[in-house]
Amino acid sequence: MRRFSLAVSAALILSACLTAAPAQAHDGPGALGIDNCTADACHFDVPPGTYDVRVLLGGDAGSSTAISGETRRSLLPETSVAAGERVARSFTVDVRTPEGEPTGPDGTPGLDLAIGGSAPALADIRVTPAARHTRRILLIGDSTVCDQPADPYSGWGQQLPQFLRKGVSVANYADSGESTVTYLGNPRLWGTVQPLIRPGDLVLIQLAHNDKTTDEATYSANLETLVTGVRDKGGRPVLVTPIVRRWFNADGTLNNNTALLVNGLGVDHPAVIRSVAAAEHVPLIDLTAKTKALVESLGVEGSKAIYLYNEKKDNTHTSVHGATVYAGLVRDELLARHLVPRGTVRVG
């Protein structure tokens, strides 16, 4: 594929304001810039860590560019630029192994970015190690949260990074099929994630969909264990109630056990989460209430696009569109509860 060529004006601007990382830390001069890109992708040979990415978008014609990376994470929303203009955008990305679900394949070493959008135009890019004080949001969850490896699936955690600016990264350790029991019991999950938590890290916990046979006492105790474990490392736990299942009553409501995550033992998962959050003085994001209101407002037909009903007859897992909408709800709650600084969040 052809390589991008920088416009002379863009090159002059960038040479004055962007500095490449030291050559000894990477493959040599230019290893963290546009020379690592083809027309639709970039690869940077960097070790696991947190990196700031600054892009310059635009070209001679009008353009519209979006950037995703690693395991299908949305990192920059589609951004339109008028013909002949250049727009700079920045974001922070987590590079880890495995790069997607913790129990999944390792993925490709380094940082991989995909250049997409309806009319993509990448004029320049620089990747540098993030500052030590960079804020981090860790996610603990199930398949409705995780970095899903393949279309048409997407977890809301996979879409959350696009709502954040440089200075906040998302480290998504959600894993498909996990309950509070299996997450705590698997050394590749909680046993790996807890030691990674740094003082000040925000840790969002949404586990419920797979606790189908977990009794209430065990479920509550498991949530308390996760909260305590986060606090023991200096992290800031946030409990998140699960997204609803798209399971309508005849009257157009979701007022039933299937939709509202009440298991076969009668354990009302959202109610237990709310109770633990109150007892442990933990911030709560009531995603069950938020998604219930949204799905009911869209109705039986309109809500199909949020889930994978049309593709898979699936009323639990979300499409890319639905995951993006739900990630926006999480963004709104993070702001409303002052859990992240407003300047680090993309609004609108």
| Tally of CB atoms within 10 A around 213 | 12
- 161-to-113, 125, 141 alpha-carbon distances in Å: 13, 18, 16
What number is the average pLDDT over the span 254-274? 98
pLDDT at residue 133 in the model? 85
- Percent with pLDDT over 70 in the chain: 91
Residues 6+ apart with CB under 8 A from 205: 140, 141, 223, 226, 227, 230, 237, 238, 239, 240
What number is the average pLDDT over the span 272-284? 98
Q: Is the pLDDT of residue 300 over 70?
A: yes
The string of DSSP letters for 279-336 reads HHT--EE-HHHHHHHHHHHHHHHHGGGTEEHHHH-EEEEE-HHHHHHHHHHHHHHHHH
pLDDT at residue 11 in the model? 34
Alpha helices in the chain (DSSP H): 8-17, 156-159, 180-185, 190-196, 216-232, 269-280, 287-302, 309-312, 320-336
Per-residue pLDDT of 142-155, as tens digits, reads: 999 999 999 999 99
The residue that leads in pLDDT, 81 or 10, is 81
- 115-to-75, 142, 213 alpha-carbon distances in Å: 10, 28, 43
pLDDT at residue 171 in the model? 98
pLDDT confidence band for 5 (50 / 70 / 90): very low
Three-class SS state of 228 = helix
pLDDT at residue 348 in the model? 72
Q: Which two tokens stand for residue 138?
A: 């860790």
Q: Is the pLDDT of residue 249 over 60?
A: yes
Q: Is the pLDDT of residue 1 over 50?
A: no
Residue position matching structure tokens 């048409």: 152
Residues 6+ apart with CB under 8 A from 12: none
pLDDT confidence band for 21 (50 / 70 / 90): very low
Q: Which of 308, 334, 134, 162 is nearest to 240 (CA)?
A: 334
Q: Is the pLDDT of residue 25 over 50?
A: no
What number is the average pLDDT over the span 297-302? 98
Question: Which range (4-8, 109-113, 245-249) has the least confidence?
Answer: 4-8
Per-residue pLDDT of 118-136, as tens digits, reads: 999 999 999 999 998 899 9
pTM: 0.91
